[in-house]
Amino acid sequence: MNARRFLLITAILFTLTTISCKKKKADQHVPPDVEFKTGGTYTNVDRTVNKSDTIVVGITATKTEDDLKSYNVSYRFDGSTTSTTFFNYLLSDAEKSSYSRDVTFVTRNQAGSETWVFSIVDRDGNITQKTIVLTVK
């Protein structure tokens, strides 16, 4: 009878341990929601433009999980992997839930490609990037 009792207690403990050790869901690390503004004079898709064209790109960013922290615009020319910062901004407390900004720039006076990257970073370091490639003719 002691052996039977021992097996029963062991089975109960095993069952309780298995049930109570459910895996916790991993933090999803949801990056901020970012959309390009559309309509009017906004550029929101890849396109071909002329040399020295004035381009306006607008973004709207919304907090998903963590407060918004910063906004950066950078560019690269002709397929380069090295980017240059055009605009960098640390958001204020009033902008941590949502942020909207228009950026105006002029394309080079040289044919080639320009890749513009618009990045929003949240408090946990999650990044959402939107890219526009301009082919300058």
Which of 29-54 are b and which e, b meaning 16 or more Cβ less than 10 Å from the residue's Cβ?
eebbebeebeeeeebbeeeeeeeebe
pLDDT of 26 > 80? The answer is: no
Band (103; pLDDT cuts 50, 70, 90): very high
At 105-135, the pLDDT tens digits run 999 999 999 999 999 999 999 999 999 999 9
Global pTM?
A: 0.79
pLDDT of 8 > 90? The answer is: no
**Helix or strand (DSSP H, E) at 134:** strand 127-136
Band (58; pLDDT cuts 50, 70, 90): very high
Per CATH, is 30-136 categorized as 2.60.40.3880?
yes
